[in-house]
Copies of this chain bind each other. A is one copy, B any other.
Amino acid sequence: MSNLPAAIKIRPAGAADVPTILQFIRGLAEYERAPEQAVATADDLLRDGFGAAPRFRVLIAEHNATAAGFAFFFFNYSTWLGRPGLYLEDLFVRPEFRGQGIGKALLLRLARIAVEEGCARFDWQVLDWNTPAIEFYQALGAQVRKEWLTMRVEGEALRRLAAQAH
């Protein structure tokens, strides 16, 4: 087991962290070259993550009590295994805090949560041009599921499809 610098701490997020979470979401959208697409508001995150039936959970990584990064996740389900899976939607470390093992510490903590909560798998997605990230994930034991393509219907196409339903 490697040592995490004493300055770094990982904790679950609460409602008071929503402004910070929103900054991280926007920071990641910029890194992924789509800043204009991150339109979520604080009200959205409060309603969906910190009410009676949360749709997601968030970990905050702190460096000397300053929020340095986050992991945003929820659970999916494997029909083959009959068990939930942990799905990591967003992982982000602020540029000035990189290179200190914070991203890795978040991933390890998520793996522990997955095991503790009976998950069979821990999945996430990565952009195909992000070679350093892919290699980092592979070094941790992750595999690229090359044969699976993701399909999406959204916006007007989704409404058009819905309108045809019986």
Contacts and interface: CB of A to CB of B under 8 A. Distances in A.
Nearest to A40: B82
Q: How many copies does the complex hold?
A: 2
A65 interface: no
A87 to B, nearest CB: 7
Contacts of A114: 158, 162
A111 B55 contact: no
Q: Interface range on chain A: under 10, 10 to 19, 20 to 34, or 35 or more?
A: 35 or more
Contacts of A84: 48, 55
A39 B78 CA distance: 10
Contacts of A134: 149, 151
Given A75-B55, A151-B137, A158-B121, A40 B80 contact: yes
Interface in A118-166: 119-129, 134, 137, 140-154, 157-166
Interface in A43-79: 44-45, 48, 55-56, 72, 74-79
